[in-house]
Structure 1
Amino acid sequence: MVKANDIRVTQPKQLDEVSTQLFQQAIDKCSATGGGQVYVAAGTYTVGALVMKSGVELHLSQGVLLRGSVNHPEDYKAGRGIITAKDAENIAVTGLGTIDGQGFHHNFQRYGNNQGNRPHAIFMENCRNVTIRDIHIRNAAWWTARLFRCDGVAIDHVNIYSHSIVNNDGLDIDSRNVTVSNCRIDSDDDGICLKSDDPNFMPENITVTNCIIGSNCNPIKLGTSSYCGFRNVTFSNIVILPPTKSNVWDWSKEYREVPKGQLTGLAGIAVEAVDGGHIENLHFNNISMTGVITPIFVCLNKRNGVGSVKNLVFSNITAKAHGIIPSLISSIPGEYINGITLRDIIVEHVGKGTVEDAQTPLKENLNGYPENRMYGKTNPAYGLYVRHAKNIIVDNFQVRLQNVDARPAVVMEDVQDVLIDKLKDTSAQKTGTLVRMADCRDVLFRNSDTGVATPATLLKLEGKSTANIRCEFPIEKYVVKGEEVEPKAILEY
């Protein structure tokens, strides 16, 4: 940022309208005279919408408390956030100061889920070369920071705490050429959420790294809005923790085996294609999760048109989960999720699934709201469920149960071209089937280890269209169409 025309803002004797005018005059003058920094001295300021202009860096110094006005919507006619911008370039919000959205105020609390055009803490639209660095944001009245149709965004060392109201997402990114790094997010709704609201704008070339995320919903999420889709996205070196509080959700009331009062998110990683968009080339690597119910959730349905999901890699992930819905990948009949790699993954689940859970088919959901419970609040598998997919690699996938579970570790239905290598159940006690496959074809198992001292059912095959199943490892016992078959090194079905 050019600093030749720096302008200093100090705390006025009056707040609200006076503060807003003072800030806006400084921003306008800075931009009109060639750009530079608007430096905000320590103090408390209450403002409505501030409109950023090209070439301006708004620097909130340490000790600044910038409070959003609660005169909603009167004080936000100029924009959809406390700090807002449209069609600007080379803009920045920096400093160690704090933005407080005052979302606890009754003027905002009167709105329910997805209701009211409440202000974001930061909202930027159609901007180029945006930097958000070092600031603290708390108590947003809506999504905390919303970047819509921007090109070139750098978000670094931002600390977000939003537990004041429904829809308290952390970062909502609907932009391209984006880097997010070194952020700490603790939110009541989704943590870092990629959205795709414009069917003619593709959010792409996005990297998120070295972040710590706590969320009562989905810490990492792509969707639900997915009209164009997402392309070339990487999340790496992420720690997912339970949120520190929840003023909205108590998932123990809706999910089995979530302890009463337990703070937890839904899916640690959620990828949702439901609005006709195309999702491709995603990589999730080096991620540690606690405080989630479902470690990985991928869905494709036709809520607003049929899109596609292809080429997703999940690698080097560890997760300790609550509830009984495992990692879940599901499309709709006739449409296939294409190309999923699950490599070097270790998950620990509660267990306690019943025989009834194992035998209850997972219902289809062709156009429902995408979430891990969209197919029901249980699942026929305790480690991984895959349906309507092809080109699937499961390589060194390890599952550990805290309690005995009557369900198979892995269930696949209508899945093609599968490699399962080094699948392990490391639980102290194991019963039942390790893998059940129905209407699957072109499958190769190898190097898997049940770790069971006594004979156990390793593989159960069902369905008229099941074909070309090969196993390349020692088998103690396996079941084909409900009948036990003598052990043999290679099974061909």
Structure 2
Amino acid sequence: MNSRLIATLCALLIGYLSLNAKNIRLTEQEATLNGRHLCTDYIQSALDKCSRSGGGVVTLSPGRYLTGTLYLRNHVELHLERGAYLLGDVHVTDKNIYPKQALIYAEDIEDAGISGQGTIDGQSNTEGFLSQGFRVNDNKRPNGLFFYRCKNISFSDFNILNAGNWTFRLQECDGVRINGIFLKSLAQGNNDGIDVDARNVVISNCILETDDDGICLKSDNLDFMPENITVSNCVIASNCNPIKFGTASCAGFRNVSISNCVIRRTTESNIWHWEERYDDLPKGVLTGLSGIAIESADGGCIEHVVINNITMEGVITPIFICLNRRSGGNKGIIRDIHISNITATCEGNIPSIISGIPDRYISDITLQNIHVEHHGGKEAMTSRLREALTSYPENRMFGRLNPAAGLFVRHAKNIKVEGLSVTMRHADKRPTVVADDVNVMTLRDLTSRNILGEPVQNIESTGITLDHKDIR
């Protein structure tokens, strides 16, 4: 067979596949009766058929579609028109309904995604779901979306609500675009927003409201490094940590840019009552924990991170950077972190924290133009802050009190702070900044209001300067 004939046959085959790539439109009337009966098989059949024919778009027209686990397939876009509701069945422990622990699951697919202005609703806020008595960390509830080892996938414009567990999980994916989604999950513990264990990821123009962490970078596989990730122009509300790296941090994270985001309060909290675990919080306050949390607790390396232009309210601690060994395992690395142009109105009195471990310093951190406001009204501490080298990393891990009013730095080196402004709503007797076992920290343009303590306290540190003057 000559080369010209082979080329002709290949062209005909490609043309045949293109002509037979099917766009399929599903209607509520064909599927079931108004979301009261399962139509999993009906929708799955369309997804499978579309993929087998070469790919295309499966569209859900307006209506209510009750379903268990759906498997998204290669080269298929699931499109939800405005008024289309994909509803998760509440019998979430039934393996016949949820063979995978997700409402929509995909594994090893490529060139696929979800789009449209319809809604995916896990119904975890309904009586049928709530009456089953699930608990935080029980691992019995399905995620909303779970994409595993997928490539070149996109998500745009849809609403995703009331997941049973994590709302949107990406694990070991490569090439992900998320744009313009609205996400709200507040009914269950572990209701994270977007969990990113992936590389080459762009997240933009999203609105999220979550009971657990908002946008959370995770690293569960030592041999897979989440990297090349951007997050921009998002509004995030969380009852835990709106922007978080970790806690899962086996390989770590690198080459991450987060910019132009707003952090706000949630509208409700059904799981947490933080006034019971923190001082100086009014009863019933809606607040998250750390606005920006960067944690290496499993031996991973976090490096080359830029965070810029973030405003936040409804948090306790603006910035929390922690290196420890929660399981007593390998020592991680945190270095080359640049955080700038942050405005934070905070609850309570736990300040920004940078804390490493005695034999593995956090290094090369720059904080620039950071403006924060706290409750204040605290006395100066007379004892040194306790260590918590194997604890679960959280802003309260060192206790309810902190020796610094605005910034506490420990077991760190090469720290640069420029333009830090700290305001207390009530007169506070603590130092504005405390350096404890720090090797070289340069501070410039430090300002404080309603703080009666000294600007900088040096505890067994070297190379600490404020406006070019040594602090001993």
Amino acid at match of 2:376: G
Q: 1:71 — aligned with what?
A: 91
User: What are the residue-to-residue correspondences of 1:290-309 with 2, within 5 Å?
Assistant: 290-303=313-326, 304-309=329-334
User: SS of 1:150's equivalent?
Assistant: strand
Amino acid at match of 1:25: S
User: What are the residue-to-residue correspondences of 1:139-218 with 2, within 5 Å?
Assistant: 139-218=162-241
Alpha-carbon distance in 1 for matches of 2:73, 2:37 = 19
Amino acid at match of 2:193: G
The answer on whether the counterparts of 1:142 and 1:167 sit within 8 Å (CA) in structure 2 is yes
Task: State the percentage of identical aligned residues.
Answer: 46
Amino acid at match of 1:324: N
Q: 1:445 — aligned with what?
A: 466
Alpha-carbon distance in 1 for matches of 2:162, 2:98 = 20
The answer on whether the counterparts of 1:413 and 1:439 sit within 8 Å (CA) in structure 2 is yes
Measured after TM superposition, the shift of residue 103 of structure 1 is 1.0
Structure 2 counterpart of 1:318, from 343, 365, 377? 343
Q: 2:413 — aligned with what?
A: 390
The answer on whether the counterparts of 2:92 and 2:98 sit within 8 Å (CA) in structure 1 is no
Measured after TM superposition, the shift of residue 48 of structure 1 is 0.4
Measured after TM superposition, the shift of residue 121 of structure 1 is 1.1
Structure 2 CA distance for partners of 1:9 and 1:369, relative to 1, 3 Å: same
Relative to structure 2, which stretch is displaced further, 278-287 or 301-310?
A: 301-310
The answer on whether the counterparts of 1:76 and 1:119 sit within 8 Å (CA) in structure 2 is no
User: What are the residue-to-residue correspondences of 1:283-362 with 2, within 5 Å?
Assistant: 283-303=306-326, 304-355=329-380, 358-362=381-385
Alpha-carbon distance in 2 for matches of 1:133, 1:13 = 26
Alpha-carbon distance in 1 for matches of 2:200, 2:451 = 47
Measured after TM superposition, the shift of residue 400 of structure 1 is 1.0
The answer on whether the counterparts of 1:16 and 1:69 sit within 8 Å (CA) in structure 2 is no
Measured after TM superposition, the shift of residue 220 of structure 1 is 0.3
CA deviation profile, 1:334-389 (whole Å, cap 9, x unmatched): 1100111000111111111113xx22321101111010001111100010000000
User: What are the residue-to-residue correspondences of 1:54-69 with 2, within 5 Å?
Assistant: 54-69=74-89
Alpha-carbon distance in 2 for matches of 1:185, 1:401 = 29
Structure 1 counterpart of 2:153, from 123, 130, 135? 130
Alpha-carbon distance in 2 for matches of 1:430, 1:131 = 49
Q: 1:8 — aligned with what?
A: 25
The answer on whether the counterparts of 1:268 and 1:292 sit within 8 Å (CA) in structure 2 is yes
The answer on whether the counterparts of 2:432 and 2:451 sit within 8 Å (CA) in structure 1 is no
User: SS of 2:172's equivalent?
Assistant: strand
CA deviation profile, 1:424-452 (whole Å, cap 9, x unmatched): 11x1x442211101111123321xxxxxx
Structure 2 counterpart of 1:85, from 106, 113, 116? 106
Alpha-carbon distance in 1 for matches of 2:191, 2:378 = 33
Alpha-carbon distance in 2 for matches of 1:18, 1:106 = 15
User: SS of 2:233's equivalent?
Assistant: strand
Amino acid at match of 1:407: R
Alpha-carbon distance in 1 for matches of 2:441, 2:384 = 21
Measured after TM superposition, the shift of residue 80 of structure 1 is 2.4
Structure 2 counterpart of 1:103, from 124, 133, 136? 124
User: SS of 2:234's equivalent?
Assistant: strand
User: SS of 1:31's equivalent?
Assistant: helix
Q: TM-score, normalised by structure 2?
A: 0.92
CA deviation profile, 1:86-141 (whole Å, cap 9, x unmatched): 00001110000011101134546522111033111111100001111101011110
Aligned residue pairs total: 446
Alpha-carbon distance in 2 for matches of 1:301, 1:326 = 19
Structure 2 CA distance for partners of 1:346 and 1:99, relative to 1, 3 Å: same
Amino acid at match of 1:208: V
1:422 maps to 2:466: no
Alpha-carbon distance in 2 for matches of 1:7, 1:79 = 25
Q: TM-score, normalised by structure 1?
A: 0.88
User: SS of 1:166's equivalent?
Assistant: coil
- State the 4+ residue runs in structure 1 displaced beyond 4 angstroms: 14-18, 105-109
Q: 1:483 — aligned with what?
A: none
Q: Structure 1: where are the runs of 5+ without partners?
A: 447-469, 472-490
1:263 maps to 2:286: yes
The answer on whether the counterparts of 2:123 and 2:129 sit within 8 Å (CA) in structure 1 is no
The answer on whether the counterparts of 1:79 and 1:85 sit within 8 Å (CA) in structure 2 is no
Structure 2 CA distance for partners of 1:339 and 1:372, relative to 1, 3 Å: same
Amino acid at match of 2:213: D
Structure 2 CA distance for partners of 1:40 and 1:332, relative to 1, 3 Å: same
Alpha-carbon distance in 1 for matches of 2:324, 2:385 = 15
User: SS of 2:396's equivalent?
Assistant: coil
Alpha-carbon distance in 2 for matches of 1:335, 1:56 = 47
User: SS of 2:414's equivalent?
Assistant: strand
The answer on whether the counterparts of 2:38 and 2:65 sit within 8 Å (CA) in structure 1 is no
Structure 2 CA distance for partners of 1:138 and 1:18, relative to 1, 3 Å: closer
CA deviation profile, 1:227-254 (whole Å, cap 9, x unmatched): 1100111110010001111001111121
Structure 2 CA distance for partners of 1:492 and 1:312, relative to 1, 3 Å: closer
Alpha-carbon distance in 1 for matches of 2:151, 2:265 = 34
1:45 maps to 2:61: no
The answer on whether the counterparts of 1:88 and 1:128 sit within 8 Å (CA) in structure 2 is yes
Alpha-carbon distance in 2 for matches of 1:353, 1:443 = 25
Q: Structure 2: where are the runs of 5+ without partners?
A: 1-17
Alpha-carbon distance in 2 for matches of 1:320, 1:339 = 26
Q: 1:455 — aligned with what?
A: none
